[in-house]
Amino acid sequence: METILTPNFNLPDSHTLPVYEKTGGYKTLHKLLKMRPDEVIEEVKKSGLRGRGGAGFGTGLKWSFVPKDPPGPRYLCVNADEGEPGTFKDRALLEKDPHRLIEGSVMCAYAIGAAVGYIYIRGEFDLPYRRIEAALQEAYQKGYLGKNILGSPFSFDLYTHQGAGAYICGEETALLNSIEGKRGEPRIKPPFPAISGLFGAPTVINNVETLSALPYIIEKGAEAYASIGTPKSTGTKLFSVSGPVKKPGVYEVPLGYPLRKFLDEYAGGLMEGKILKAVIPGGSSVPVLTAQEVEEVNLDYESLQEHGSMLGSGGMIVIPDDFCMVHALEILAHFYSHESCGQCSPCREGTAWIYKILKRLEKGQGTPEDLDLLIDISNGMAGQTICVLSDALAMPVKSFLAKFKNEFEEHISLGYCPHRASFRTSGAPTYLSSDQLLWSPRFQSL
């Protein structure tokens, strides 16, 4: 299969400029600079490329919202704040092929008329940060960035900006606030960033993976890209697989690939003795799939939507049948309540409330009414806030309760968690704090 994003992943020193250039890197910039910006936008639109950060919005369409001749500057922001639990595909791109991202960024900046771009990179990403910094220096030295790129009138400066540990700063408008030095809170929309974004100027925010697909699209043309995948989900996508599979890791597959086949062929199937219970296909915020659904679904936007889930970021979490779903959801609720920025009442209060209930449920202290209440709280959160963080917890809660209600009921009727070995053997529950659980070996084996 032709790879678009990862062809260099297995080459030694793939992160360096000589290797990238040897494989044809930056050559397409000559072609780009001969095109008109609106031709570039048109080409990207035709390719069908959709944002790979999770929302799946048409990339070319997003660019076309930027005003053509605004009075001030325009900006490109590269969203490298990959923080969704289960997702680590941008990290691979940043570590293994940073020049592909830089070349893609130049292409986007050229198309939207941005003279300055910022790579907002997750604070915990140390190696990726050092790699992208080194790559930027190399690119500047060779004239792929900076003034008059490759002798053309087009100039573009690209900077890095390190995050400080907040998941919410991966939300595009919180990201803008963070770059501006403000509190990392999503902005209320409208205005949308394409009209009033970074420092109030028209801004495009694109995910690392989205931008990394551009060199291929410009080089081979929109048709070549669109011929991969399905008619509505074109091209390839990275999936980062974690959980008890034989080969966890990051894999590039054409969209539309059957999930079961992907798990078997790429991830090597489940570890010996493990039985598949569920898969969260697109990062922790998307609705969970049962083992049965895993057999039926394909990895593309439409098929996952038909099965009530989402492609999301492609962060795939495989859950074996000996793992407690109540506990899994409790971990998710802890994460989202910890990471809510707290400005909207439903999210600030709802995520924390859900976490408190789930903590109790997991200990076996729940009541049947709690299950209805969890659904009701989720309904009050979903779609009623500035950003989608509250949806990101509401969706898992509703899907876990819809598909694995028996496990919740079991906790209630037993009065303890049937998955807790310590409880079963000693008869005395020894509860760990959720922080300990998050880093417990059991979670890591997940």
- What residues make contact with another protein under the rule CB under 8 A? 166, 168, 183, 188, 190, 337-346, 348-353, 356-357, 360, 373, 376, 379-380, 383-386
> In whole angstroms, how close is the CB of 188 to another protein at the nearest point?
4
Of the pair 132, 388, the CB lying nearest another protein is at 388
Say if residues 10 and 250 touch (Cβ distance below 8 Å): no
Task: State how far the Cα of 145 lies from the Cα of 212, in Å rounded to an integer.
Answer: 16
Tokens standing for residue 430: 């020894």
> In whole angstroms, how close is the CB of 350 to another protein at the nearest point?
6
Of the pair 152, 343, the CB lying nearest another protein is at 343
Contacts of 377-382 with CB under 8 Å at 24 or more apart are 377/350, 377/353, 378/350, 378/354, 380/346, 380/350, 381/346, 381/347, 381/350, 381/351
Query: Which residues partner with 121 through β-bridges?
Result: 80, 162
> In whole angstroms, how close is the CB of 398 to another protein at the nearest point?
15
Sheet-wide strand order for 276-280: 249-254, 236-242, 315-320, 276-280, 289-290
> In whole angstroms, how close is the CB of 256 to another protein at the nearest point?
27
Of the pair 87, 340, the CB lying nearest another protein is at 340
Of the pair 44, 168, the CB lying nearest another protein is at 168
Of the pair 46, 348, the CB lying nearest another protein is at 348
> In whole angstroms, how close is the CB of 231 to another protein at the nearest point?
25
Residue 23: how many CB atoms within 10 A of its CB?
Answer: 15
On the CB side of 18, CA atoms within 13 Å amount to 2
> In whole angstroms, how close is the CB of 84 to another protein at the nearest point?
17
Q: Following DSSP, what letter does each residue of 103-115 receive, concatenated?
A: HHHHHHHHHHT-S
> In whole angstroms, how close is the CB of 25 to another protein at the nearest point?
40
- What values do phi and psi take at 204, rounded to 5? -110, 130
Say if residues 177 and 185 touch (Cβ distance below 8 Å): yes
Of the pair 122, 237, the CB lying nearest another protein is at 122
Of the pair 168, 326, the CB lying nearest another protein is at 168
Say if residues 249 and 72 touch (Cβ distance below 8 Å): no
**Whole-number Cα distances in Å, 279 to 93, 164, 250, 276, 309:** 24, 30, 16, 8, 10
> In whole angstroms, how close is the CB of 190 to another protein at the nearest point?
7
Of the pair 94, 169, the CB lying nearest another protein is at 169
- What values do phi and psi take at 354, rounded to 5? -60, -45
Dihedral over alpha carbons 396, 416, 432, 245 (to 10 degrees): -50
Of the pair 23, 196, the CB lying nearest another protein is at 196
> In whole angstroms, how close is the CB of 93 to another protein at the nearest point?
28
Task: State how far the Cα of 10 lies from the Cα of 238, in Å rounded to an integer.
Answer: 15
Task: State how far the Cα of 99 lies from the Cα of 5, in Å rounded to an integer.
Answer: 11
